[in-house]
Structure 1
Amino acid sequence: MAAVAGATAAGVCLAVSGASAGTISGSLYRDPSSAVVRWVAANPGDSRAAVIRDKIASQPQARWFANFNISTAQSEAASYVGAANAAQQIPVLSVYQITNRDCGGASAGGAPDLNQYQTWVSNFSRGLGNQTVIIILETDSLALLTCLNSNEINARSQAISTATRTIKSANPNAKVYLDAGHSTWNSAGETANRLRAAGVQYADGFFSNVSNYNSTSSEANFGRAVISSLNGMGISGKRQVIDTSRNGGASGDWCGDDNTDRRIGMYPTTNTGDSNIDAYLWVKPPGEADGCRYTAGSFQPDLAYSLANGVPNPPTTAPPTTPPPTSAPPTTPPPTTPPPTTPPPTTPPPTTPPPTGNGCAASVALNQWSGGFTASVTVTAGSADINGWTVTVTLPSGTAVTGIWNAQASGTSGTVRYTNVSYNGRVGAGQSTNFGFQGTGTGPGATASCAAS
């Protein structure tokens, strides 16, 4: 592989040229109205602007279609694809509309039901034209199934299979990729099983690493294992695309909002030099928040600058920079990439006034079903910042905790103490953060108290 490479202390950023590709050739479309382009245009005097402009805003990234509106689905797709066609470039469209997406977590939303989902997909598909487009279909929809029962999983798989065929029927040149999670989530064999159930035989392949920071080499190895498993099922000819938008540094916990050891990875290209890999893409736009510190999907220049700082400039063959339009269309939030979560609580948490001084308060909201429950716990700082917290939850008799997220736990029944993890210990004065847990038995009656550390 011929490559231009440069390394930083935290990671490596590569640009590929002169290499063989998978099944896609051509340059990727850079959206002149993306959030990062508009921020750079509006903040020319910011000390971070040059780095963000040269290393992030200059690059093609996915446009997320995440706001559910059946009446505008076709026109929104047609407008974006039409602009890419006019530039003779390949657009990347990330569809994020599946019912009960993100299992009701920080990126909850999407279609109210699967019938309306199919209507949206049909309208969207009519706006795709007939030239090459890349469709990233429903991030986390197959890797994250913990909140669905077996009937709901089957219905979701069928919905994704139908959506794939709808898109391919409307535009035979569309390249459609299904969700494979990432290399440190589900096994390759399990991923292949889920892809088969969701109709990967009708798609061009699968995508990975939108929800994490795993290295490109790890994702490529994972992809080869998934392809091998699919081949063993009689499903051949499938290829991978890898999200390299934030994987040039250390891997680890899912949330990037507080991490300074992340860097952008390979610049986007269809020239991968690997016959199993169709493209390296920036699906998750660098600088847009995951939702644990900032609002999910919001562009944060400090995150963008941290990702780009110290990274080599893109190759000279990068797509040309074009000025932003005078009026930009609304953006839609990308996924927050959380670990497996559960449906939103059916009752809101009780209103708890923020404590004074250096303290914190905790409130619990429950979602109960027969034999089990999930709990969402809100931690609120007082009138001063806190740098860590411990929440003590007293559970009813006969209740046992079976899973947690966004916290570390001591114990599984009775009185359980939860402490912050690396990315959510610091909470600003009057601000809040969240964690959750799942359990068996009777959830109602659980109480929580908080101590700052």
Structure 2
Amino acid sequence: MSRLIRTFAALAVLGLAAGCSSMTGVDEASVAGAATKKASPAPASPFWVDPASSAAEQIELWERQGRTADAEQLERIAGQPVALWPAGEIDPAPAVASATTSASQEGRTALFVAYNIPHRDCGQHSAGGAPDADAYRAWIGKFADALGGSKALVVLEPDAVAHIVDGCTPGEYHAEREQLLGEAILRLKQQPNTQVYLDAGNPSWIQEPWKLVDPLKRAGIENADGFALNVSNFQTDAVTKTYGLRLSQDLGGKHFVIDSSRNGNGPLPGVWCNPSGRALGTRPTTDTGEPALDAYLWIKRPGESDGTCEGGPDAGQWWPEYALSLARNSKS
């Protein structure tokens, strides 16, 4: 469709039966070329807004086509900071460096997801990841180097721990995965202004949070800033916060962040992939009213497909009509 959509074509994606994330990245040229566009972060949000997002590109297209009312609706997405998912299949450094440079110029924090763990997504919608442990270490090293001293927040490996707990990832890979996650946390935390939150699934997936405690500890959660919940899922803020506080207590008070990108109407029972009638949720902010909850974030990029279901394109592909539905259903 647009320059940015073409840029995103090579990106890896997330989309499993628990309802996790799609993956999106952006190359250096697209970020630099977007400097003439305008986007401003939401009030109370310290996070950087990507001025060349798919939503911003869609707005331009619809305005040219005369769909001004629809374009206005999409401002609810384009004006918010969302995480970038640098593709695992290529060098992440250009995308990461471009985003952090732009964010630093505004004095803001760039949001990222690192998603390239070997044996990713158990061979499902987002199968792939690094071919082996050494390749993953090299990829994480490039990712971390590109962050430099800029302010950044990284959500590390959606699904990776939860897939250990639910048994989807074969047992022979568990020890290596936990070791790689621990190493990734330590490597990312070498960057002086980087926060790292290790993904811990969502309340509808691993319903007993205590089951996550030991795997998270083996994966080095003590060296991370905390854990992330509800990535690309639709569980409400209230349900997820309650779950997060229980898990936090079991982890000695670890903090957490919540993906509120599409949970405005909560989940649609029995449907995890592109459920209809959903809405945008709480806008990204660090003003949560709960000391252990560091932020509500838009980790999943609203408007990107969960997979080829309910009429959607491949996982991670921009789906403008679904984005429009999320925006129209939003309460703010």
The alignment's TM-score, normalised by the length of structure 2, stands at: 0.81
Deviation at 1:75, TM superposition (A): 2.6
Structure 1 unaligned blocks of 5 or more = 1-15, 19-25, 314-453
Deviation at 1:256, TM superposition (A): 4.2
CA-to-aligned-CA distance 1:202-256 (integer Å, 9 cap, x gap)? 100000101421010111110111011112xxxx4x2110000010113133534
Match of residue 272, structure 2, among 239, 255, 261: 255
Backbone CA RMSD of aligned residues: 1.7
Once the two structures are superposed, the pairs formed by residues 37-436 of structure 1 within 5 Å of their partners are 37-44=56-63, 45-46=66-67, 47-53=69-75, 55-69=76-90, 72-145=91-164, 146-169=167-190, 171-186=191-206, 187-231=208-252, 236=253, 238-251=254-267, 252-257=269-274, 259-291=275-307, 292=309, 293-313=312-332
Separation of aligned partners in 2, 1:49 and 1:256: 25
Separation of aligned partners in 1, 2:116 and 2:284: 24
Indicate if the aligned counterparts of 1:250 and 1:261 stay in contact, CA closer than 8 A: no
- Give secondary structure in 2 for the equivalent of 1:165: helix
Deviation at 1:66, TM superposition (A): 2.7
Structure 2 unaligned blocks of 5 or more = 1-41
Indicate if the aligned counterparts of 1:290 and 1:296 stay in contact, CA closer than 8 A: yes
- Give secondary structure in 1 for the equivalent of 2:163: coil
Indicate if the aligned counterparts of 1:256 and 1:262 stay in contact, CA closer than 8 A: no
CA-to-aligned-CA distance 1:79-119 (integer Å, 9 cap, x gap)? 11111111111110011111111111111122111110001
Letter in structure 2 aligned against 1:31: D
Indicate if the aligned counterparts of 2:261 and 2:301 stay in contact, CA closer than 8 A: yes
Match of residue 29, structure 1, among 48, 51, 64: 48
Letter in structure 1 aligned against 2:270: D
Separation of aligned partners in 1, 2:242 and 2:86: 29
Quick check: which one's helix share is greater? 2
Which has the bigger relative contact order, CA under 8 A and spacing at least 6? Answer: 2
Quick check: which one's strand share is greater? 1
Indicate if the aligned counterparts of 2:62 and 2:70 stay in contact, CA closer than 8 A: no
- Give secondary structure in 1 for the equivalent of 2:196: strand
- Give secondary structure in 1 for the equivalent of 2:139: helix
Separation of aligned partners in 2, 1:111 and 1:310: 37
Separation of aligned partners in 2, 1:75 and 1:66: 11
Indicate if the aligned counterparts of 2:114 and 2:154 stay in contact, CA closer than 8 A: yes
Indicate if the aligned counterparts of 1:213 and 1:246 stay in contact, CA closer than 8 A: yes
Q: 1:304 to 1:197 in 2, by over 3 A?
A: same
Separation of aligned partners in 2, 1:189 and 1:165: 24
Separation of aligned partners in 2, 1:195 and 1:82: 32
Deviation at 1:147, TM superposition (A): 3.5
Separation of aligned partners in 2, 1:206 and 1:111: 22
Separation of aligned partners in 2, 1:97 and 1:176: 15
CA-to-aligned-CA distance 1:289-311 (integer Å, 9 cap, x gap)? 00023211111111111111142
CA-to-aligned-CA distance 1:43-86 (integer Å, 9 cap, x gap)? 21225221012x111111001123322xx322321111111111
Deviation at 1:149, TM superposition (A): 3.1
2:4 maps to none
Deviation at 1:17, TM superposition (A): 7.3
- Give secondary structure in 1 for the equivalent of 2:316: coil
Letter in structure 2 aligned against 1:103: C
Letter in structure 1 aligned against 2:136: Y
- Give secondary structure in 1 for the equivalent of 2:211: helix
Separation of aligned partners in 1, 2:131 and 2:249: 36
Indicate if the aligned counterparts of 1:181 and 1:211 stay in contact, CA closer than 8 A: no
Rg: which structure is higher? 1
Separation of aligned partners in 2, 1:224 and 1:118: 32
CA-to-aligned-CA distance 1:3-29 (integer Å, 9 cap, x gap)? xxxxxxxxxxxxx978xxxxxxx6111
Indicate if the aligned counterparts of 2:154 and 2:196 stay in contact, CA closer than 8 A: yes
